[in-house]
Chain A
Amino acid sequence: MVQSLDRSQGRAGAPAVNGDAAPATFTGNRGLQLEEKLIFEMGQHGRCGVDLPEPVAAKDRLGALRREGEIGLPGLAEPQVVQHYTRLSQKNFAIDSGLYPLGSCTMKHNPRLNEKIARLSGLGDIHPLQPVSTVQGALAVIDTLAHWLKTLTGMPAVAMSPAAGAHGEMCGMMAIAAALEARGEGHRKTVLVPESAHGTNPATAAALGFVVKGIPADSRGRVDVAALKAALGPDVAAIMLTNPNTCGLFENDIREVADAVHAAGGYFYCDGANYNAIVGKVRPGDLGVDCMHINLHKTFSTPHGGGGPGAGPVVLSERLARFAPRPWIVRGENGWDLLEKGIVDDAAPLGRMKAFHGQMGMFTRALAYILSHGADGLRQVAEDAVLNANYVLARLKNDLSPAFDGPCMHECLFDDSFLKDTGITTLDFAKAMIDEGYHPMTMYFPLVVHGALLIEPTETQGKEEIDKFCDTLIDLARRAKSGTATADFKAAPMLAPRRRLDETLAARKPVLRWRPTNREPGDGPLRQAAE
């Protein structure tokens, strides 16, 4: 054995067995881990990755506004560009690399069929402002997806245009504001938000001028219904509740909550981030929901893409449907049409959420996902997602510390009490997972649990992968408790493309772009040069 990475040798208080112990290389590369410069450090004049013809001779129509001087873009040939981005890609963990248990993000497999379909010329190359007679198929795709979203959720209407979950929240809360205004109750300015909510919920409500009032969780990880009822009054516009909630639990008093909110004259906004747990099994419309956004990039598997694009259609109850934003798609005598006015007589669109008609590329993929799974497969999605999460909970419950009693829904939540007195934090534990080849779970969220670790395995992981993942976490937990490996946890990750990054330094004196005064990477970090 030339280079031992054997665990017993590596972890016994000797953090030397890691990348540092490998011999230094001339290039700085380590096997397949390739150091890569910025494009601005590689480019040269006279190089170009495309071949374009000479422009025809024509009159200059720019007035006096011809751009002067260099823009400063680097020149690279196609092979260099392909190598650059390929090397960058190899520094990323992804769903395609392995189990990506990021809680509340639903990192499920992204079917490649959907990529192929979205790129069909008749869907991918069409212009949003073509005459509607030339895009009947595209409008049919949108309306068909809308139909299934309404059917699955048991809601009568859906606004398709929001671009992401948070954008859908904005749309839904605008609809609620519009409904209150129409009722002459614009004075209702309080929005109740459980403390376990995603940050987007209070951010959305506050942006719309609502006053956010926090509702605590009870000892079971659910919203404290008594506290909620006590907070209800003539000033309450709405409650924003995630269900299943961010503790991975179904709010089993949800009907009671909905009835109480409605009786007090408020609306029920449901954050649908965790819809994957119940798709095909439970219709939010049966739970008293007035509106709910659906993250197509979660439940319906459109790719997360390194942070978007997403899509966040919002299903709306009868009471809110007439406030849906423009444009509306209708079926008339001559086929599908796009209307700037509403469909129904009393339509009062709240406005427009974005240019054009929504995230078409995501609609195509989501509809392909729904049709691929079908009536049987979609229910199986929810069941397997919940089964996998409960299996992880069962396997880990003796070594990690579950935050609440089970069963859970599609994700399981642990607190950091299993690390008590070890000196190891949730962050250290998560970083040690990286060396074992896993993306960490969601950390320190939800806020209602100390040092939270939120695990969502999704339904697209097999039992073998989940067993290996659980075995790994159990081993890490036992090592953490042994007290002999604390330094390793503190130093982790040691085998990733980068070790822990200095986030304080990044924020204290931000360097947000490359500038020509930058030094070569071999000269040492720019940051040190700057200070």
Chain B
Amino acid sequence: MRYLPLTDADRREMLATIGVRSIDELFRDVPEAARREGPIPDLSMHLGELEVERIFSAYAGANLSPAYTPSFLGAGAYRHHVPAAVDHLIQRGEFLTSYTPYQPEITQGTLQYLFEFQTQVALLTGMDVANASMYDGSTGASEAVLMANRITRRSKAVLSGGLHPHYRAVIETTARWQGFFAIAGAPDVAGTEDLIASIDKDTSCVVVQNPSLFGHVRDLTPLAEACHARGALLIVVVTEIVSLGLVTPPGAMGADIVVCEGQSLGVGLGFGGPYVGLFATRDKFVRQMPGRLVGETVDADGKRGFVLTLSTREQHIRREKATSNICTNAGLCALAFTIHLTLLGEAGFRRLAELNHANASAFAERLAALPGVELVNDTFFNEFTLRLPKPAAPIIELLASQRIMPGVPVSRLIPDDPSVDNLLLVAVTETATEHGMGPAFEALKGVL
């Protein structure tokens, strides 16, 4: 077995040193009735690399990869080009196979990139401070609501109808079992909902997504002012981080907590995970933040160094009084994110955002000219909503059989609301070319 260095001779010698005759003696604390003898039923014996690769090639071959087919899927996960250096660097064993930096003297690599990551996230979102990552955007959003409840000592969250339905469901699940209220608006297809009227003295926070699920880009400043006037916090969710290269950041619009899905930079689609949650807030709220934080300090020689800090918020110190139960986060995905963003830099990140917006704008105009098709949005970044003349889901199924994936039917995310059945979300990134847009346009034209 290629991963197990002990030989039978080693094992015999070690058993002798321990002073037992067999390995079974070491398992003597296990109740006899619970011990399983012999190989695991129905599982094949150990396999070589070649055999395992064959099995997975077959699994992979049974999927249609957007890398090889026209694809305009978004709705919280976006296909972007990831520079080759990113995947090379994150596979360095010193990054890949280390753990949470509990011993800072020998994990300065991880600590420094997390410090840089925190700074980048704060800059992108326009906030003061960011943590070292959450599992993903959806769980981060749920943690943000809990944080707002702690800060305001209130227990009612108002959720925008433009919030991704999975995010909404995660928050509602947390609300149900952790004991607070989450009030969600109807799907905000037009991007015109007024949440201000929903804020009352029990409201801890308003959670709004920008750009919204349907793609609308909105000025949240009036909403932030209304929240603050009534003692509530504004939580802004961003599922497409590239938008912040072009769109006014939540911090400039008065957000108190910003939660983003960072998948677009460095991470890739990966069928939905692992991704990386970005979490940023104002300085004054930092001690109510969940998750790991890296801070700057000095070592015994006075040299600059980095450590995990403010851990008195965390479960391993505070146990039942912790701000969150989170332990492991998304370190390696945060590394991929930060390397990709470092390669882009100011100029590259802005250019990337411009490319996304221009491609999306051009394709939206073209699709909106199809007979019976309406572009729902006035504003959008790289994703928009089309109202088709008939239900979107069957059309998408049909086109999938032609190996074309023009978008995500809203009914996939909101299954029980006939009013959204004809809506299709279309995301266009820098990866779009005429080789993809042309056939997707023609295919849609053919089935409408």
Asked whether any CB of chain B lies closer than 8 Å to the CB of A326, the reply is yes
Q: Are A40 and B119 in contact (CB under 8 A)?
A: yes
CB-contact partner of B345 in A75, A165, A359, A381, under 8 A: A75
Q: Are A379 and B40 in contact (CB under 8 A)?
A: yes
Cα-based distance from A198 to B306 in the complex (angstroms)? 25
A393, chain B: closest CB distance, angstroms: 8
A361-383 near B? 1/0 per residue, CB < 8 Å: 11010001011111111111101
Q: Are A50 and B295 in contact (CB under 8 A)?
A: no
Q: In chain A, what residue has the closest Cβ to B1?
A: A377
Q: List 21 A–B pairs whose Cβ atoms lie within 8 Å, in order of A's numbering.
A: A38-B116, A49-B344, A65-B379, A107-B97, A111-B3, A115-B96, A118-B270, A126-B65, A128-B269, A129-B73, A255-B33, A304-B97, A351-B173, A355-B272, A356-B272, A387-B14, A430-B103, A434-B103, A460-B5, A506-B295, A510-B295
Q: Are A360 and B272 in contact (CB under 8 A)?
A: yes
**In the assembled complex, which residues on chain A have CB atoms less than 8 Å from the CB atom of B377?**
61
**Number of interface residues, chain A, beta carbon within 8 A:** 210
B335, chain A: closest CB distance, angstroms: 7
CB-contact partner of A528 in B31, B246, B298, under 8 A: B298
Cα-based distance from A514 to B120 in the complex (angstroms)? 9
Asked whether any CB of chain A lies closer than 8 Å to the CB of B222, the reply is no
Q: A91-B112, A501-B299 are in contact. Are A371 and B327 (CB under 8 A)?
A: no
Asked whether any CB of chain B lies closer than 8 Å to the CB of A421, the reply is no
- 8 additional A-B pairs beyond A68-B252, A249-B29, beta carbons within 8 Å, are A52-B352, A89-B89, A89-B95, A91-B112, A125-B67, A206-B319, A306-B101, A360-B274
**In the assembled complex, which residues on chain B have CB atoms less than 8 Å from the CB atom of A131?**
396-397, 400, 405
Cα-based distance from A119 to B276 in the complex (angstroms)? 17
**In the assembled complex, which residues on chain B have CB atoms less than 8 Å from the CB atom of A475?**
none
Q: A49-B345, A525-B303 are in contact. Are A88 and B108 (CB under 8 A)?
A: yes
Q: A93-B98, A127-B77 are in contact. Are A280 and B36 (CB under 8 A)?
A: yes
CB-contact partner of A440 in B103, B122, B330, under 8 A: B103
Q: Quick check: which of A169-177, A261-269, A313-321, A478-486 contacts chain B, the rest being far away?
A: A169-177
**In the assembled complex, which residues on chain B have CB atoms less than 8 Å from the CB atom of A304?**
97-100, 331
Asked whether any CB of chain B lies closer than 8 Å to the CB of A463, the reply is yes
Q: Quick check: which of B44-52, B201-209, B226-234, B439-447 contacts chain A, the rest being far away?
A: B44-52
Asked whether any CB of chain A lies closer than 8 Å to the CB of B387, the reply is no
Task: List B residues 36-68 near A (Cβ within 8 Å).
Answer: 36, 39-47, 49, 51-53, 55-68
Asked whether any CB of chain B lies closer than 8 Å to the CB of A390, the reply is yes
Q: Are B46 and A165 in contact (CB under 8 A)?
A: no
Asked whether any CB of chain A lies closer than 8 Å to the CB of B93, the reply is yes
Q: Are A503 and B309 in contact (CB under 8 A)?
A: yes
Of A20, A119, A200, chain B has the most CB atoms within 10 Å of the CB of A200
A76-103 near B? 1/0 per residue, CB < 8 Å: 1010011011101111111111001010
A156, chain B: closest CB distance, angstroms: 16
Asked whether any CB of chain A lies closer than 8 Å to the CB of B135, the reply is yes
Q: Are A514 and B115 in contact (CB under 8 A)?
A: yes
Q: In chain B, what residue has the closest Cβ to A64?
A: B219
B21, chain A: closest CB distance, angstroms: 13
Cα-based distance from A203 to B291 in the complex (angstroms)? 13
Asked whether any CB of chain A lies closer than 8 Å to the CB of B284, the reply is no
CB-contact partner of B53 in A109, A117, A138, under 8 A: A117
Q: Are B53 and A306 in contact (CB under 8 A)?
A: no
**In the assembled complex, which residues on chain A have CB atoms less than 8 Å from the CB atom of B381?**
61-62
**In the assembled complex, which residues on chain A have CB atoms less than 8 Å from the CB atom of B3?**
109, 111, 372-373, 377, 460
Task: List A residues 432-482 near B (Cβ within 8 Å).
Answer: 434, 439-440, 445, 459-463, 465
B92, chain A: closest CB distance, angstroms: 4
The 9 closest A-B pairs by CB, nearest first: A351-B173, A122-B60, A356-B272, A305-B332, A137-B62, A96-B93, A128-B272, A462-B5, A309-B274
Q: Are A372 and B46 in contact (CB under 8 A)?
A: yes
Asked whether any CB of chain B lies closer than 8 Å to the CB of A215, the reply is no
Asked whether any CB of chain A lies closer than 8 Å to the CB of B367, the reply is no
Q: Are A91 and B107 in contact (CB under 8 A)?
A: yes
CB-contact partner of A71 in B124, B272, B309, under 8 A: B124
Asked whether any CB of chain B lies closer than 8 Å to the CB of A307, the reply is yes
**In the assembled complex, which residues on chain B have CB atoms less than 8 Å from the CB atom of A59?**
361, 365
Q: Are B14 and A305 in contact (CB under 8 A)?
A: no
**In the assembled complex, which residues on chain B have CB atoms less than 8 Å from the CB atom of A91?**
94, 106-109, 112
Q: Are A76 and B343 in contact (CB under 8 A)?
A: yes
**In the assembled complex, which residues on chain B have CB atoms less than 8 Å from the CB atom of A393?**
18
**In the assembled complex, which residues on chain A have CB atoms less than 8 Å from the CB atom of B30?**
250, 252, 278, 281-282
Q: In chain B, what residue has the closest Cβ to A129?
A: B408
Asked whether any CB of chain A lies closer than 8 Å to the CB of B390, the reply is no
Q: A439-B106, A498-B105 are in contact. Are A203 and B315 (CB under 8 A)?
A: yes
